[in-house]
Structure 1
Amino acid sequence: MTDRPSPPILDPRRAVQRVLLITLALNLTVVGLKATVGWLTGSLSLLADALHSVTDSANNVLGLATNRLADPHPDRDHPYGHQKFEAIGALGIAAFLGIACFEILKTAVERIVGGGNSVTLGATALWIMLVVLGINVFVAFYERRVGLALNSKILVADARHTMGDIWTTIVVLAGLIGVWQGLTWLDVALAFPVALLVFKSGWTVLRENLPWLVDEMAIAPEAIHAQVMQVPGVVNCHNIASRGLLGRQVFIDMHLVVKPTDIQAAHAITEAVEERLEEAYGPARITIHVEPREYTEEEITY
């Protein structure tokens, strides 16, 4: 059996922290502008949108905390690293979105049942909302670009949330223009699609991070098998399993049958297999169990 040491892992946490601090400042600015305009105009949809934006700031704070814990380097107590802390942070984002969705719906129903305050709008409020929209667009594309470059789940998840906030702001802005033109019922009516957009963002984040936390298959065993069988000297491989995050770090286990019968030659083939898998799927931590040549197994995975 060989357990090849994992190659040096790039630690992008410092860059992620810098992005989160920048977006936190911008998101707090957005919250302040939305809340101020919503309070001055009495707009329910805008106040709901401000609540949605509060979760953006909370997500940044949560991301800063979890990012400090998500050290990719293993230690004695965490031999597989600490990267799942980042996925836990992304799940926290989903929880915040669920809370925001509930509050938006609750407030909208209360306004319908109990009646609401009149909404008073001016051109200044609409111009401020256009500025807010521009900030949201910048934050979403900036976080997504850096998140993809660093392969940071917390940044990509937060960028998706902010992208949802852009559509929310567009819907609210359209409603405010309608209210400005005399369609006062639009304010409460548009609070419901805002809630749906919030829920959709939370569900997407939840769906994408649960597989990582429950060790779902990272690479199809058939793909690994195809790579391994191209290495000279390999007779068969089976009991293939993988987990982790492709492109960040994956863990691959397998049983291998090779042609040579002496340990040194068999070890050389396992090294070649590890190099091939590292090139195809790295960074990867690969564990190979070598079995006798006479051993046969029809299934390549569990």
Structure 2
Amino acid sequence: MSSRQALRRAGAVVLAVNVALVLAKAGAWYLSGSLAVGSEAINSLSDSAYSLVILAGLYLTTQPPDLEHPHGHERIEPFVSLFVAGAMILAGAGILYGATTAVIAGGADPPVGTSAIAVLVLAVVAKLWLYRYCRRVAERERSPAVAATAVDNRNDVLAAGAALFGVAGAQVGYPVLDPVAAGVVALFIAYSGVDIVRDNLNYLLGAAPPDHLREEIVERALSHPDVEGVHDVIAHYVGPEIDVSLHIEVEGDRTLAEAHDIESAVVQSIRDIDDVDDVFVHVDPKELGEWKAKIDDVETDPSN
């Protein structure tokens, strides 16, 4: 299965499961009157809404490169993830307001019947499966949008567990636990949104990758037997992928064809690193003396 098919299928699976959970939780909410289950229904409704956005976004990001977008459309993904985060934060705030109002009022009538507990157990199982599924797809395809969805599903497992505890407590004589559980669910939802924002801002702002990856870039360049030094190394995120530019030092008496072969080998070696997209290598004669002897001293400012 191609990356395009895997990502689109993941979006469709997430949407289908969330729609099914909305219907199940709404029915249990109607039957039981549980605020916690109601908050979970709203949570799943927001999940379904952003699942539609993710599905549309993944369709766009998996379009092949064209004349107007020669590098493809992967850079749309962080924007999709931020939309997901915004929806989650708003949903969490709304649920928290309703739960706080109910707690101040002294709680609500305890849920009735077993439908609330049954649907929350179902939600825990379904969200745990979705979390594992989305995490596998995100790691394999290096997709920040699917990774954001995995985070949301992970926190949905905890939220559904909290709601289950609140409903059970309310049914054994502690009705205030139901709105308290709804508030806990709201905090989980909002926290997930903030977590996703933090992760994806680096993609949009062109932040540098982790230090270990930059060190690996330098080490791969220096591993070529004809490379005498490396300087002016710049690595930064462009969407979810990393662009790299650097200068390598070679003997000044190399022919143009030899320098070209060295440059091509270094480009391919660095491009083989996961998450790296484009690599730009400039070849300098080592006699210029621009190389710094230690990796920690490699220049990162192109103006130097």
- What TM-score does the superposition give when structure 2 sets the normalisation length? 0.87
What runs of 5+ residues in structure 2 fail to find an aligned partner? 293-297
Q: Partner residue of 1:263?
A: 256
Map 1:42-61 onto structure 2 (within 5 A): 42-61=33-52
Q: For residues 169 and 161 of structure 1, what CA distance do their matches in structure 2 show?
A: 12
Q: For residues 269 and 232 of structure 2, what CA distance do their matches in structure 1 show?
A: 18
Are 2:173 and 1:173 equivalent residues in the alignment? Answer: no
Give 1:72 deviation, angstroms: 6.7
Q: Counterpart amino acid of 1:206?
A: V
Are 2:154 and 1:163 equivalent residues in the alignment? Answer: yes
Q: Partner residue of 2:235?
A: 242
Helix, strand or coil: the match of 1:234?
Answer: coil
Maintained 8 Å contact 2:251/2:285: no
Helix, strand or coil: the match of 1:84?
Answer: helix
Q: For residues 275 and 110 of structure 2, what CA distance do their matches in structure 1 show?
A: 56
Higher mean C-alpha displacement, 181-190 vs 218-227: 218-227
Give 1:44 deviation, angstroms: 1.5
Q: For residues 246 and 234 of structure 2, what CA distance do their matches in structure 1 show?
A: 6
Instruction: Name the Cα RMSD after superposition.
Output: 2.4
Helix, strand or coil: the match of 1:294?
Answer: helix
Q: Counterpart amino acid of 1:243?
A: H
Which of 81, 85, 90 is the matching residue for 1:90? 81
Q: Counterpart amino acid of 2:55?
A: L
Map 1:1-302 onto structure 2 (within 5 A): 12-71=3-62, 73-113=64-104, 117-218=108-209, 220=211, 221-244=214-237, 249-261=241-253, 262-281=255-274, 284-297=277-290, 298=292, 299-302=298-301
Q: Percent identity?
A: 27
Give 1:35 deviation, angstroms: 1.8
Give 1:71 deviation, angstroms: 3.5
Give 1:281 deviation, angstroms: 4.5
Give 1:249 deviation, angstroms: 4.5
Q: For residues 117 and 192 of structure 1, what CA distance do their matches in structure 2 show?
A: 13
Q: For residues 140 and 218 of structure 2, what CA distance do their matches in structure 1 show?
A: 29
- More relative contact order in 1 or in 2 (CA 8 Å, sep 6+)? 1
Alpha carbons of structure 1 residues 126 and 222: separation in structure 2 relative to 1, 3 Å: closer
Q: For residues 83 and 207 of structure 1, what CA distance do their matches in structure 2 show?
A: 19
User: What's the CA shift string for 1:197-251, capped at 9, x where partnerless?
Assistant: 11221122112111111111236443322221121222222111123479x7532
What runs of 5+ residues in structure 1 fail to find an aligned partner? 1-9
Helix, strand or coil: the match of 1:184?
Answer: coil
Give 1:183 deviation, angstroms: 0.5
**Number of aligned residues:** 292
Alpha carbons of structure 1 residues 116 and 40: separation in structure 2 relative to 1, 3 Å: farther
- What TM-score does the superposition give when structure 1 sets the normalisation length? 0.87
Q: Counterpart amino acid of 1:187?
A: D
